[in-house]
Structures are given as structure tokens and as C-alpha cells.
Chains A and B, each alone.
Chain A
Amino acid sequence: MTGTDKSDPRPSPRPHDSHVTRRFFLKGSGATIAATGVVVPVAAQQATPAATPATTERPDPAIAIEFFNPHESATVEALAARILPGTPDDPGAREAGVVFYIDQVLAGPNGGYAVKTYDQGPFLVVREEESSVESTSRTDIYRVVEAPAGDEISRYGYQSLLTPQDIYRRGLKSVDAFAQSSFGKPFIELSDADQDTILEAMSADEATGFDAPSGSAFFTKLRNDTIEGMFSDPLYGGNRDMVGWKLIGYPGARGFYTSEDMANPQFSAPPVSLADSTGHSH
């Protein structure tokens, strides 16, 4: 996928190579915006072989994994466990089963989009130099529109051509490639401290080798999805035993509170899930 991937026999793309798409994600918005040249089909971009061993054990073999391969699922679990660390006594994202939540979302229809998304082209591409776009304009989605320069494009929000499935597949490869180039091992084999170093670099957008999504955009996506998996109802596959809600003191899907409850700083109640709420229970 990138120049850091030694198993890729192809020449490394240069930053301004007009024949290679370099889409990047905008900080905080999750938006894919720019390329430095011709848009190429996503399928062609994904042909790069994985740089990591496939010796990984899946998290919790008793639960179906529908989208990730075993190595990907173990990597996502490890990433989420650094965002919200835990132990059996003080559960975090791993103990909450966040990876199962994310896997279920991605296994859904339509590329893993869990939110309503307008997916008609043309998609936004920044051209930093003149190049022949028309040659790849076979279908509507490969038509491009010129984007304003610099930070202006970040004002337009999410503009990605990549699906959430693409984002994870590509982002996880970049994480491993970056881990490999930084510490000589795939992410899941690193110590907690080295894993944190990787995430620090991603969140600061200083991690090398990330193409699309960018390191910071993939970090933001992982963090958002970890939050969803930690704090959504357990029926969605994460937040096991409501550990996320217990962590923050949130009573969950309760039916009502009284005005006395609302005024009481000592109020406390164990959480209830949609699965065990009777609606108007208190």
C-alpha cells in the first residue's frame, strides 16, 4: 500500500506521482478528500498483500467474527484496549467486547455504513497538478470535482469514497506497517508502551506510511467506534455486563426519574439494558 511495505514489488509512489491516488483524511472529520492525481478504482488499491503474519488467535472464539480476519480482529481488539485500557477488575474496551460491536457494524450491508450516507458521485479530489482525469472517468463515481486548496476542504465534512470496510482494511494494514517500521513487529506483538507510542503518533498525524485513511483519521475512527462499542446498549454486541455504563455511573435504558432524583447529587442506580428494562421500571 505504501513505500514502507517491503513486500510490495511495485515502485514506491512519490508524493506527487500523478499516477497514484493519495487520498487523505481530514483531522477530526473522518473525511477523505484529496488525491494528488488520477483517481484509481478502490479494488486496485486493495490488491497489496498484507505485510503481517496470519498466526494470530481471534478474540473469544465462542463469538462469530463476520467481517475481520483473525489477525484484524486481534489488532482491533488491541487498539481499542489502548484507547480504553482495562483489567478483569476494572474492565475496558477488551473486556467490554468492543471488537465484536465493530465487527458487527462492518459486517452489515452497504460497505459497513452504520449511518445514513449519500453515496452518489462525483467525489471530491484535489488535483495538485495537471493530470488526465478523463482517462479513468468510466463511471459516475470516478468523476471528480476540483476542490479548494488547503484547509477550505475540511469545511465540507465527510466526503469519502472509501466505505467503513475499506477504511478498516486499509487502516489496519497501515498500523502494522508502521509498527513494523518502528519496532520490527506487528502491532499486536508490541508491549503496551510501544502500542501507545504507535497510537500517539497516529493521533498526532505523525505516523508514517498511512495513505488513506491518514493516521489521525484512522485513530479518530477507532476512538469513535470504541466509544460506541463501550457505551451503546449491550444488545449491540459491546458494553458487556454494561461495564461502560458502570464505569461512568450511567443508569442505562431506564424508564423515568423523578424531580427529586434530578435534584439529588447522591442519586445512584444500577444500569439496566434494553434487554432487561421493563420500560417504566425505576
Chain B
Amino acid sequence: MAQQEKVDVVTVGAGWTAGIIAQQLTAQGLKVLSLEQGPMRETNPDFLSPYEHDELRYQVRREMMVDLNRETWTWRPNPSAISLPMRQYGSFNPGEGVGGAGVHWAAQNWRFYPSDFQYRSHHIERYGEAKLPAGNRIQDWPITYDDLEPYYDRFEYDVGVSGKAGNIQGEQIEGGNVFEGARQREYPLPPLPTSIAADKFTEAASGLGYHPFPQPAAILSQAYTDASGRERGACLLCGFCTRYGCEIDSKASAVVMHIPMAMETGNYQIRTGCFVSKINVDAEGMATGVTYIDATGREHEQPADIVIVAGYTLSNVKLLLMSRSGPHGAGVGNDQAMVGKNYTYQLGGGGSAGLIEGERLNRFMGNSCTQSLIHDFNADNFDHSDLDFIGGGSIGSGGGENNPISSVGGVPTGSGKNWGQEWKDALRQNWDSMVNVGIQGESLPYEDQFLDLDPTYTDRFGFPLLRLTFDWHENDYNLVRYISPKMREIIEAMGATNIQTQEELTPYRIGPYQSTHNTGGAIMGTDPGNSVVNKYSQVWDTPNVFVTGASNFPQNPGMNPTGTVCALAYHTADAIIKQYLDDPGQVMS
């Protein structure tokens, strides 16, 4: 095994959280190394237009995603079912390469609700403990919205987030999300322009008495000078966004600002094509660094004072479980069998789709953030006293970037026949007249929903694949049953015809794409008995290891995770600088 020169900090992965933490720590003079399993990715030349405006390569063939023949994930619906590998892309799309999934994210940028952080106590206080679903593992985060607010603010101002505030220091503002937690100031940039369909949604939702607002986006609506001092240009509304890199750096990602800033210090390096297979520990159980396999198959030992496990949720959990040794026989972070618990996802059922007949909507332009939303049925923004579920979701419409290969299949015909002359005529007539109203719903943790190592299937190096045990629960079915008619009502008010509605949630299937919001598995909590990490994302049983990202979420709210993932990364970096380095190896309080 080749011995590498010691660094202060090694990060596993080079995506959003690694980039943010590297930028913060290298600025303090620490030597940081990121080991990334995928390739190098830079805006120039990797995302250049027009070459990247290629739906087949990026959207259909998942150019930026993990090579499944090297690494995939197995799934089973419950602990007594067999598990089988996801052989081709389906339910979720983990990315790889420098910048991680942040390179090709949708950039829908949210703050979670104050009640999301106190989910258990909030619901018990308002509805009583009996309201929580059977078999749940719901728990409070060890951090509050107010704790995190300055870090949300910092991220939003560092990269440039576009949106309309709905609550500034307690004052509600019409046109923004009036349900949101208080923010200290307005978004740095006004919202992105909204699409024709989004405007129809806004009008319909207002008419029904709801509170529509434009999608907050980590995409620039105007030119913006970011924290690196560089002025970046406004979004070109090109229509190639989610699953694509941004050719003009208008969409924020770690390769846009944080990684270049870290590189500039001279204290940062990235090694690509390097798969980290183990966190190494000493006799006392403290980490000494990591073992990784390079692109040619050679094994290396990389010593470091601090190990930051900063990959995708599923990669983080797998690495912890593979890091078995004497002091941590079940894996790093797993002394109390908490790794893999509280795996959650994102609920997407109950939506409606239809046509605005005779009208072209230009849905091939823009991006997923040119939509409009309501949160009247998200979180606990509506009274659940007489309802048979808790939680809710974001409801929205009018996202753009409708590329043809991935959308023509859904064009309806009068007879329902989806091929032949009738279908061809429908494509001509209605392809750009399709609208939908969809939901991003909460996902709660349960005892029978977790991650562990698969006993049968292996990755390219022979290590076990990570196994997902997951299915929808009664709370999810009831939520969809309640919210589906609300969405139907909105799309009807938008003037849609030929409406198709999913009235009932169907059992989880891994085949169709749903959401790349896999969360939990290395959750944060108040003590080692209920969590893997503390509020600083520091591992309780191995305090010089940090695990970042959405793997920290005890349960998943009804919004995209990345805004909170990035705020937590700033929070972790701050704690390392201000506390940890004064007394290394100690659990911070």
C-alpha cells in the first residue's frame, strides 16, 4: 500500500459540502485534500455550450451520474423481502465527479421550517403523541432554525440566491412564502422570471385563497458579485439545467465559487478517480486517515488529522459501515448501531397533469426554478387536527426545461393510444401545451426503513453494495389522498383539460425516476444513543470524523435538501475553526 503525505483534513468526495468546508478551512491555512471517485469537472471545458445542450447524453443517458456498473444500490420494500440491484437509472440519480450532484442539481434552494427542526416536539405539543404514525423514528434535530439562520443567510449571499422573502424579521410579506421562518433580510436577488404556466398557477392558487410565491433558486436572476469577488451573469433560461452543468456559472455549485477559492489559497488539492474504501482508526478508535483505491487499482493510505465524509447520502453510509475495525467493530459512527437508521426519501404522489389546449407555454425554456408554488399544504402550515396524517409538501407548477425525449411520451390522446397517427398529431398540437401540478412531500423515518450492506451484491471492487429497505407508509397514503384533490382543483382553475390525476399513492417502485433526495442514515441528534453525529456533524464515537450532507437529516421535510445541506456545512466549518481546533479530538458541545 502506497503511503501518502499527511494532510490536516481529508474529505471523501468533492461536492457541495467538501467545497464549502475546504474553502473555509484553507482560508485559515489548513491543508485540505479531497478524494473524489468521479472525474474532474470544470465549467470550461466540461459544460460549454452548445455541446452540453444535448438531451440524449445528459438527460437520457445520465452523463454526470455514477457509473452503475461500478457502484449501484440494492433495494427491498421491507426487511423480509429479497433485495435486488438498481441495474439502470430509476428512482434516484446520485452524481459523481468534482462538484458532485451540485453540478447538475435543479438549484431549488430552500430553508426548512422552524417546526421541521423540532418536528417531534412540535407535533406532540400541538396534537399529542398519539398523532405520530406507528413505528416511527421521528425525532427533533439538535439544532434550531434560529441557530442555522445566519448560515442560511451566509450561503444565500455568498453564492447569490434569487427569491422573494415572505418573512423578514417577523414581518410577513405578500408575494413571498408567508409561512417561512423569519429571515434577517431579503434575498440577495429578485426571483427568476416565471413561466406562462407558473403565472397561470399563481393566478389559480390566489383565486382559491392560497399564498403562491416564486421558487427560490440558487440561479442568478441578475448579474451578481459573489463572495469570491467575481461577477457572474444572469441565467440565460436556456432550458438545459437539471442534470446539466451551467455553461455560464449562473447556477451555483461548488465548482463555481468555493473550489476555485480554495484552490487559490494553495492549500487545497483534489485527487479524482479515487474511491475511499475505509476510514482508518488507531487503537483508541480515533481516525488516522483513509484508505483509497486510485483509478489504476492501486491502494493508498492517506493520513489526516480530520476526516470529513462528504459524499452523497448513500456513499457516506456505505463508507461508515465498511470502516470496521477493532475499536469500531460495526463501523465508524456505529458503536450504538445508529448508522443506516432514519433513511428517508421524498414523497411525490398525487399530482395532476393536463393540457392548456390551443396555447403554447414555452416549457422548453427556463429551468425547474421558473415555477410558482404554494406552501399552504406543506409542513404544519395547515391544521391537521381532523386529518389522519401529519406533514405535507410543496405544491408547484410551471417549471421549464422540458426537453423533448423525456416529455413527448406523456402527451395525451383522445383515445389513449400513445402511438400512430393520432399520437403524432397530438404531439404536433399539444406537446408544448402540457401542464402539471406536482408535489414534493415529506418523508418520515420508520423502524422498518433503513440502510445496511447487501449480503449478496457487490461493487466493482468487490465491496458490498448498500441496501435500501424502504416503502411508503400509511401516513404517506393518507397525505396523498388528502392533497391530490387540492392539486386537481388548482389545475382545473388553471384552465387545463384532459386532466389526469393520481388519486392514490402506489407502493414504492425503484424503476421510475422520483427524486434524488435520499436522506438520513447518519443522522444528527442530541446524544450518541439517538444519532451518529452531533449538531456540528461530528461523529460521537470518532470525534475527528465529520459526516456532512443530507445523511444528517433525522427526517426529510417537503422541500429540496441542498439549502440546508450547505448551511450545515458552513456551520460545521465554523465550529471546526472556532472550537474544534482549540481542543482537537474532543466532542464539541
Contacts and interface: CB of A to CB of B under 8 A. Distances in A.
Interface of A: 29, 31, 82-86, 92, 114-120, 122, 124, 145-148, 152, 154-160, 196, 199, 203, 223-224, 227-228, 231-233, 236, 244-245, 247-259, 261-267, 272, 274, 277-280
B55 A119 contact: no
Nearest to A101: B56
B16 interface: no
Interface stretch (B22-30, B330-338, B356-364): B356-364
A157 B76 CA distance: 12
Interface in B45-68: 48-51, 53-56, 60-62, 65-68
A233 B405 CA distance: 10
Contacts of B584: none
B311 interface: no
Residue of A117, A160, A262 with most partner-chain B CB within 10 A: A262
A92 to B, nearest CB: 7
Given A157-B88, A158-B87, A231-B408, 15 more contacts: A84-B419, A85-B421, A116-B67, A118-B69, A154-B509, A156-B511, A157-B511, A158-B90, A159-B87, A199-B420, A223-B409, A228-B405, A248-B408, A253-B50, A274-B54
Given A154-B509, A261-B362, A262-B366, A146 B69 contact: no
B508 interface: yes
B359 A155 contact: no
A266 B458 CA distance: 53
Contacts of B359: 265
A25 to B, nearest CB: 12
A248 B404 contact: yes
Interface stretch (B113-121, B144-152, B171-179, B233-241): B233-241
Interface stretch (B212-220, B285-293, B423-431, B547-555): B423-431
Given A118-B85, A261-B362, A253 B68 contact: no
A156 B75 contact: yes
B588 interface: no
A122 B424 contact: no
B262 interface: no
Given A158-B87, A258-B237, A116 B56 contact: no
Given A231-B404, A247-B424, A250-B404, A115 B511 contact: no
Contacts of B456: 122, 145
13 contacts: A29-B511, A146-B82, A154-B511, A199-B419, A227-B405, A247-B428, A249-B431, A250-B432, A255-B50, A265-B196, A272-B50, A277-B53, A280-B49
Q: Which are the 9 A-B pairs with shortest beta-carbon distances?
A: A157-B511, A256-B236, A259-B193, A277-B50, A253-B53, A279-B49, A232-B56, A231-B404, A248-B431
A26 to B, nearest CB: 8
A262 B370 contact: yes
Contacts of A256: 236-238
A227 B411 CA distance: 12
Contacts of A227: 405, 408-409
B270 interface: no
B84 interface: yes
Nearest to B428: A247
Contacts, number: 198
B420 A82 contact: yes
A161 B509 CA distance: 20
Given A85-B420, A117-B68, A253-B53, A244 B366 contact: no
* B: interface residue count bin: 35 or more
Contact of A114 (B61, B370, B400): B61
A146 B76 CA distance: 13
Contact of B53 (A119, A159, A274): A274
Contacts of A253: 50, 53-54
Given A116-B61, A232-B56, A83 B362 contact: no
A247 B427 CA distance: 8
A77 B242 CA distance: 33
B224 interface: no
Nearest to B239: A257
Contacts of A152: 77, 81
B107 interface: no
Given A158-B87, A279-B48, A265 B238 contact: no
Interface string B220-247: 0000000000000000111100000001
B127 interface: no
